Structure formats: structure tokens, C-alpha cells
Amino acid sequence: MEWLHVITPAIPEAELRARCTLARLPALCADVHEVDAVGDAERGEISCVWGLFDARCTAVRNGVRYELLSCPNALQWTVTTRNGETTLHASINVARGDPEFIESIATFLANFRHGLEQGRA
């Protein structure tokens, strides 16, 4: 399944990369409770609404990608900026899922988007 949100006006790429780090994830999304064991800037362990997961945040073209590496549903989301808009895109590895779980992902993404919009410089 996939989710897509568009944020306008765009968040500049430099600002996006500075704000969207693994360590700052709890400040961006109320559903992330804490980040531990950040050995380097990219990898760590997060406690979130679904439990505890190994996670990674890496730079991609025009933005960043978050991955829950130990998630059985392979949840990942990217935040990229181009053509005057910022795109938040997420996916999991199933075409259909439990409705409550699917709703929890939609809520998570809405909270993450809200955090991006609230922290604008």
C-alpha cells in the first residue's frame, strides 16, 4: 500500500535535510516516542506507536528516506522537495492490511506531516 501527501509551499531541501534526521524524529512526529542507540547519524532504534524497531534515515535525491528495518511490513517513507512542493510518500509491503493498522499508518503520516508544517522556519 502507498500513501502520498503534498505540502505547499515547498520546504527548501537544505532545511528539510537539517530537520529530517533520525535523532529529531520524535520532534517531528508525536507517534515516535524516542530514538536510542544512534551509533551514526543514519541508524538507530526507535520506540513508536507500533513498538520498537531498528531504523535508518538516509539522504536521497532531493530529500531523505526513513526505513523501519525490522518492521514486518517494511514501512518506509520519503520526504522530498522539487518543483515547488514537498512530497511525503510512504509504503508497506502488502496490498491490503488490517483496517486498524492501515488507519494507524495514515494517522502516523498525518502527525509527521503536521510536524513538518509546524516546524517551518
The amino acid occupying position 120 is R
Number of domains in the chain: 1
Residues of the chain with pLDDT under 50: 121
- Alpha-carbon gap, residue 16 to 18, rounded angstroms: 5
Q: Give the pLDDT confidence score for residue 10 in this predicted structure.
A: 92
Q: Give the pLDDT confidence score for residue 58 in this predicted structure.
A: 95
- Alpha-carbon gap, residue 92 to 90, rounded angstroms: 7
Give the domain extent around 104. 2-118
The residues pairing with 45 across neighbouring beta strands, listed in sequence order, are 36, 54
CATH code of 19's domain: 3.30.530.20
| pTM, rounded to two decimals | 0.92
Q: Give the pLDDT confidence score for residue 37 in this predicted structure.
A: 67
The amino acid occupying position 118 is Q
Task: Report CA 70 to chain centroid distance, whole Å.
Answer: 15
